[in-house]
Copies of this chain bind each other. A is one copy, B any other.
């Protein structure tokens, strides 16, 4: 039942995503001492106009 939610920018490379969830699952199963089958991961890919760091939208980060 452990659930991992990942918030970040979009990653296009599916193979990279496959490897990522496999590794996160392994690490988490070991931490909780539970079977890998019980680990759920949700990836949320946020649009840069909907994320702000330090009061500034990501779409504006490269602006002067």
Query: Which residues from chain A sit less than 8 Å from chain B, CB to CB?
Result: 1-9, 11, 14, 16-18, 20-28, 31-32, 34, 36-46, 49-60
Given A2-B7, A4-B4, check contact A54 B36 (CB 8 Å). yes
A39 to B24 CA separation, bound complex (whole angstroms): 14
Counted per complex, copies of this chain come to 6
A51 to B46 CA separation, bound complex (whole angstroms): 15
A16 to B1 CA separation, bound complex (whole angstroms): 19
- Which residue of chain B has the shortest Cβ distance to A7 in the bound complex? B3
Known: A24-B27, A40-B52; 20 extra A-B contacts, CB below 8 A, are A1-B8, A3-B5, A4-B7, A6-B28, A8-B28, A8-B34, A11-B31, A11-B32, A14-B57, A18-B56, A18-B57, A18-B60, A20-B28, A21-B56, A25-B54, A37-B54, A39-B53, A39-B54, A41-B51, A43-B51
